[in-house]
Chain A
Amino acid sequence: MTATARMAMLDLRTIAPYHYQSLFAFGASVLVFGGKPVWLLPGLVLIFSAQIAPFPFRVADKAGLETLYGVLPVRRRSVVYGHYLWAVAVFLATATAGTALALLLAWAESVPFGGRTLLTMLALSWATYSVNIAIQFPVLIRFGYTSGSVLGTTLPLAVIIGTLYKTHLTVASMQDWIALVAVVGLVVFAASAALAVTADRRRMRHRANWRTA
């Protein structure tokens, strides 16, 4: 396992004691979107995954894990990329569970849910998620959860939801170009990771103490 993967595992173990809250968020999302199985996946990713991905930052802030990251025999780059790998893992896990659930619900409610629709929804999910993380993570890494979280979590979400609302999306209208947006999302995600390494270096330079300065 590479150092990056180990850091992603550490993120998982960081929030492991709080799995009840996570399951609750998952359940809530399912309840909200249960009636519209086609939209369950993006809804799940938007509400659940977007909360879980930055969760380790919240715990780390409170526990002073920044010191642990500094003491562990891993490069700073691995620390930063580890968070991004964690975000990807969260998406993949949600997408898998969400797809299965959505298909099940669609079958139960006799809602048509074809392959093309599924792919479109996956692309939409990734597009919103990747942009969300791409904006959030550098802010969290630079300023920590306490300072950065209000700006970091609500702003991207507001931007995304506002855009979706404004454009009055339907599945049909998205099909043609959503794949492109998903690819853009991937690029933005990668660029964000590179930016985050710089943001992390900035933060380290300003830290005089072990606790969040």
Chain B
Amino acid sequence: MSSDLAFALRGVGAVVGRNFALRDVSFELPTGYVMGLVGANGAGKTTIIRCLLGLREIDTGEIELLGHRVPAPADLRQDVGVVLDHAFLVGDWRLTEVERALRPFYPRWDGARYRQLLDEFGLDLRAKVKDLSRGMSMKLMIAVALSHQARLLLFDEPTSGLDPVARDELAGIIGDFLLDEGHSVLYSTHITADLDRIGDYVTLVHNGRIVRTGTKDEILDAYRVVRGGPDDLSGLVGVELIGARRTSSGTEALVRTEEADLLGGDVLVEAPTLEAIAVHIGARAPRPEPRPLSTGRIA
């Protein structure tokens, strides 16, 4: 059964330790696009990805991955590649041994492709995994995923610790990967610059909840950055200041676009960047109960 969704989470809840839980997590990615999962460290991005892979049990809700309900048959992971900020391989393996070790698990392994990709990425076959820089080990994991013909790539904070050149190279690699409209990418990060250009969809996570999900343009349209004097933005009715930053010279906050009209004329209102949205939402204090909205969204 082919699906037009790369994956979907519906009402997912999972308790993680004493102080943290995923609650009512719902979002989906249509096949063929790249989604950025944006949130601060500890917001729940890694937990979501582990649930998606079936590495973590969920307490409520359902998860669909490449058209299959999760927990899915282990074989489904033939189609999925995972890329982290470190290579999860034996450090003393040479890149040739990496192939020898992983190949038996993947009937679709393309050895010629593996060598070609290593060459393209500038990785020496005789090098050891532990000798690779962060950027190079990320490329190695991508090469592994592409060599077993993965359809879905899951990146978890791939660029933390990478220089801008490497980050740009990654954008190019993802662009190449998405030339095939059957390929999809989930990219979890707290560095929004990576998604500014190439992100198709964005999902905002904060404190284990989904703040908002949609196309990048929808997200950018949903908020406005407002700036005013120290007293301009206080005592407002019907307008929620998200992640307000108050200093002696002024106040800056994020507001929902539909509420921006309620602000007075002295306040500067402008379109946000993804970074501004991420920063202000991440700066919110955790709320004990969600504010009920007719659409079920949190913010």
Contact = CB atoms under 8 A, between A and B. Distances in A.
A adjacent to B, CB under 8 Å = yes
Contacts of A208: 16-17, 20, 46-47, 50
27 contacts: A6-B104, A14-B90, A16-B97, A17-B93, A59-B90, A62-B91, A63-B90, A64-B86, A65-B89, A65-B90, A67-B88, A70-B55, A71-B53, A71-B82, A71-B88, A72-B105, A73-B74, A73-B105, A73-B106, A74-B105, A75-B74, A205-B57, A206-B17, A207-B55, A207-B56, A208-B46, A210-B88
Contacts of B57: 204-205
B156 interface: yes
In the A-B complex, list the 6 residue pairs whose CB atoms are closest, starting with the nearest: A17-B92, A67-B88, A73-B77, A64-B88, A13-B101, A70-B55
Q: Which of B74, B90, B91, B92 has the most CB of A within 10 A?
A: B90
A210 B84 contact: yes
B273 interface: no
A67 B82 contact: yes
A167 interface: no
Interface string B68-89: 0000001111101110101011
A206 B46 CA distance: 13
A13 B97 contact: yes
B93 A6 contact: no
Contacts of A16: 97
Interface of A: 1, 3, 6, 9-10, 13-14, 16-18, 59, 62-68, 70-75, 78, 204-210
B284 interface: no
A65 B90 CA distance: 7
A65 B86 CA distance: 11
Interface string B252-269: 000000000000000000
A63 B46 contact: no
A70 B84 CA distance: 13
Contact of B76 (A10, A18, A73): A73
Interface of B: 16-17, 20, 46-47, 50, 53, 55-57, 74-78, 80-82, 84, 86, 88-93, 97, 100-102, 104-106, 156
A72 B76 CA distance: 10
A206 B56 CA distance: 8
Given A70-B55, A204-B55, A208-B17, A63 B88 contact: yes
Contacts of A6: 104-105
A154 B57 CA distance: 33
A78 B73 CA distance: 13
Given A68-B89, A210-B50, 9 more contacts: A14-B90, A67-B88, A70-B55, A73-B77, A78-B74, A204-B55, A204-B56, A205-B56, A205-B57
Contact of B84 (A67, A73, A78): A67
A155 to B, nearest CB: 27
A17 B94 CA distance: 9
Nearest to B76: A73
Contacts of A66: 88
Nearest to A210: B84
A1 B104 CA distance: 9
A138 to B, nearest CB: 20
Contacts of A204: 55-57
Contacts of A209: 46
Contacts of A74: 74, 105
B74 A63 contact: no
A65 B55 contact: no
A71 B101 contact: no
Contacts of B74: 3, 73-75, 78
Contacts of B88: 63-68, 71, 210
A64 B85 CA distance: 12
Contacts of A67: 82, 84, 88
A117 B77 CA distance: 50
Contact of B89 (A9, A63, A73): A63
